[in-house]
Amino acid sequence: MILISWNIDSLNAALTSDSQRAHATRAVLQTIYAHKPDIFAIQETKLRATGPTKKHQEILATMFPEYDYVWRSSVEPARKGYAGTMYLYKRDLAPVVSYPRIGAPEPMDDEGRIITLEFANFYVTEVYTPNAGDGLKRLTERQGWDQKYAAYLHELDQKKPVLASGDFNVAHHEIDLAHPENNHRSAGFTDEERAGFTNLLSYGFTDSFRHVHGDVTGVYSWWAQRVRTSKANNSGWRIDYWLVSERMADQVVRSEMIATGDRRDHCPILLEIKD
């Protein structure tokens, strides 16, 4: 199986805008389609509560004609047009879909952050982890989320093996970002967030990228969009992951980033795993 995950930073803009960035995003979508993934997870869709519009549906049907999709948007009392997730999957897969609530600090469970697909022998689940925010104003709530999410994945793993992807909004180790020395109190690299990710892995999960590539450096999944030189200088962070249940780790064939050219922000991440 080939699975791809990507924080797209607004599906609406990607599909309907005429900006240079939107054209670059659509080019990445074409690249993703060329990989023929069995499953494509999307984070930060930023769709309205009612989901993709008719126009969005028509464009998706053109760009991904062999795929069905499910979505989850932010709903009140959470902010409108915020966060959100989606799956596209090949029609013959027909998974059982769930939209879990994990008992996270309010209103995180209403922000459309998790979708889970259940198959006969495994789960595929995606997450858009809450950011600790400017000035770490949401760090306490983020820590609560991390605990609840780890417990949720552990619960799934007790039933069947799990493939978990998404924007986890944390660089786990110093080799996972270009400038760790300057970022120990930055959102995404605090001791608290890193400890939360360590705790998640301790429940029996493997970071598939490190499993395949070891301690390779200079490979990232996010470059600050607001810093024009971030991509050119490879001043990035690895904050997007494919995690797998430890008992499936040896089935991982590939775990890698998909190039996005000059486009800053997140790049897609690909997992190939033996059935």
**Annotated binding residues for Mg(2+), as ranges?**
7, 44, 167, 169, 265-266
Is 266 known to be catalytic? Answer: yes
Q: Number of helices (H) and strands (E), helices first, in the chain?
A: 6, 15
Rounded Cα–Cα distance for residues 134 and 245 (Å):
33
> Given CA atoms 79, 112, 168, 153 in this order, what sign does their dihedral have?
positive
Rounded Cα–Cα distance for residues 103 and 125 (Å):
17
Nearest to 242 by CA among 177, 170, 164, 150: 164
Per the residue annotation, which of 172, 220, 241, 266 is the catalytic one? 266
- Cβ neighbour number for residue 134 with a 10 Å cutoff: 8
Which residues does the annotation place in the binding site? 7, 44, 167, 169, 265-266
Amino acid at 248: M
Rounded Cα–Cα distance for residues 59 and 193 (Å):
37
Is 128 known to be catalytic? Answer: yes
Is 134 known to be catalytic? Answer: no
Per the residue annotation, which of 167, 176, 207, 240 is the catalytic one? 167
Per the residue annotation, which of 128, 152, 220, 241 is the catalytic one? 128
DSSP lists the bridge partners of residue 236 as 223
- Determine whether 229 is exposed, middle or buried from the number of CB atoms within 10 Å of its CB (0-12, 13-18, 19+): exposed
Rounded Cα–Cα distance for residues 275 and 261 (Å):
31
Task: Enumerate residues 6+ apart whose C-beta is below 8 A from 214.
Answer: none
Catalytic residues: 128, 167, 266
